[in-house]
Amino acid sequence: MAERVAPESVSGLYLAGLDLRGRRVVVVGGGSVAQRRLPNLVAAGADVTVVAIDPTPAVESFQGITVLTRAYADGDLDGAWYVLACTDDPQVNAAVVAEAERSRIFCVRADDARKGTAATPASGRHRDLQFGVLAGGDHRQSAAMRAAISRALADGSLAPHAGAPHPPGVALVGGGPGDAELITVRGQRLLAQADVVVADRLAPPELLAALGPQVEIIDAAKVPYGRAMKQEAINDVLVSRAKEGKFVVRLKGGDPFVYGRGFEELQACVAAGVPVTVVPGVSSPIAAPASAGIPVTHRGVTHEVVIASGHVPPGHPDSLIDWSVLAQLQGTLVLMMAVERVAVFADALLAGGKPGDTPVAMIENGSLPTQRLLRTDLAHAGEVADAENLTPPAIVVVGAVAAFTDADSGSRR
């Protein structure tokens, strides 16, 4: 009879993908380890049962699983295909492994991987690709390698489908508030696959610099109070390039649908029968204040945030804003595209009854190394903006939170 080789003497493990759809999986233990494992098990379609004396609230409320709030007992693994022993009691974990061995069920032992019969890899997903990393029990090394692979897949430096072009169509991608690292993972991945990029002035330039020479870059800049590519021309180029069989990324600053005319572009693509997808972005009216240490909401201080366009002044025939109503708000008002008319908007709010000592913060180049923060009050906002030569892009925050600093913002109740 062949002698069983001890797991700790094995130089490596055999990697396999398990089809757990509809199959029973038992997780013994309801702490942080179980909490990290549950999402992937449920996503794989497993019929998961957790046995734990005191599961965490996240485990106890996890959707799509069965939780038995009691101690593990012999026989709990009946009918299981796969088992995870992840309690904080080594004796319980050993008993779980022993029952699994008797039943010929592969079992992961979280506290000592060498004493189980299976190991959980650091796993990741990219579109329809799944991958896992095992590093001989060194969980930090496997997690670091997983992160490196994920980054490489996201930015396109590691191409799982080398030579396979993206299907023709358009993606409306929000590039974030300015810092190139604040684009979403999905947005960066699609940008790396683009044949054509139609870029706004506020799209992070570092993202464009990283594109290959084969990518056609079309400047669709809209300079404030200056020259601009007509929206109709932008719509036309998106549709025409896609109909030529190319994958077009419309790269915008912030989010495509927050003063980005993204819905107009989506309508144009749909009307022309061009496949289109929208990738949300980190929006500057939230991100710029955050980068300056200013929360747009805070418990006990403000329960609402209003984002208003400063593209046209109060009283203009094209204005859709009732500034007298905004003046009565108790919460936070965030103004975009307001740099040229800070004094005008401040006067409108003051005329509507907003107190002159209402704090105001102006964040220029939010999230960038050149970010600048100006603080004042509503009565002096226009004067400060002029004196300090505030320039676009800038966000103006009006309300109590505009006076918050990193030191005191956490102490308000």
Half-sphere exposure of 141 (CA within 13 A, CB side): 5
- Return d(Cα 194, Cα 197) in angstroms, integer: 7
Contacts of 100 (CB under 8 A, 6+ apart): 77, 80, 83, 85, 106, 107, 117
Beta bridge pairs of residue 25: 48, 82
Beta bridge pairs of residue 105: none
From 111, 112, 115, 222, the catalytic residue: 222
Taking only Cα atoms into account, the Rg of the chain, rounded to an integer number of angstroms, comes to 28
Q: Residues 182, 159, 14, CA angle at the centre, nearest 5°? A: 110
Active site residue 222: yes
From 76, 179, 200, 255, the catalytic residue: 200
- Return d(Cα 61, Cα 208) in angstroms, integer: 44
Q: Could you give the strand order of the β-sheet that contains 47-52, starting from the edge strand earlier in sequence?
A: 66-69, 47-52, 24-28, 82-85, 106-109
What is each CA distance from 172 to 250, 251, 264, in whole angstroms? 5, 6, 11
Helix boundaries (H) for 44-123: 57-60, 90-102
Is the peptide bond preceding residue 393 cis, with omega within 30 degrees of 0?
yes
- Return d(Cα 223, Cα 83) in angstroms, integer: 60
- Return d(Cα 269, Cα 276) in angstroms, integer: 7
- Return d(Cα 295, Cα 370) in angstroms, integer: 20
Residues catalogued as catalytic? 200, 222
